[in-house]
Structure 1
Amino acid sequence: MKKVMYLNFWTVVFALVIFSCNSTKVNTDDANANNPQIDSSNGLGQEADGHTSENALDWEGVYNGTIPCADCEGIKTSITLNKENKYDRTISYIGKPDSMLRDTGSFTWDDSGSIITIGDGETSQSYKVGENILFHLDKTGNQIKGDLASKYRLMKNYSDSNLENKKWVLTELMGKPIQTPKDGKPAFVTFSSKEARMSGNNSCNLFSGSYSIKSGNRIEIGQMMNTMMACENMDQASQFMQVLQKADNYTVVEETMNLNKARMAPLAKFSLAKAD
Structure 2
Amino acid sequence: MISLVQSMTGYGTSTFTLRDTTITVEIRSVNHRFLDIVPKYPRTFLFLEDRIKKIIKSHFSRGRVEIHIDMNGEGFVNKSIVTDWELVDQFIHQLKLAKERYSLNGEFPVTVLTELPDLITVYENEEKPNELNEQLLFNVEKTCRQVLKMRVEEGKYLIEDVLKRVSVIRDMVLLLESRREAVVEEYRQRIIKRVSEFVDTQITSEDGRLYQEIALLAEKGDITEEITRLHSHLDQMEELCMNDNPIGRKLDFVIQEMNREANTIGSKSNDSKIGKWTVGLKSEIEKIKEQVQNIE
TM bracket (short chain): under 0.3
Larger RCO: Structure 1 or Structure 2 (Cα < 8 Å, ≥ 6 residues apart)? 2
Q: Normalized per residue, which structure has more helix?
A: 2
Which of the pair has more CA radius of gyration? 2
TM-score by structure 2 length?
A: 0.21
TM-score by structure 1 length?
A: 0.22
Q: Normalized per residue, which structure has more strand?
A: 1
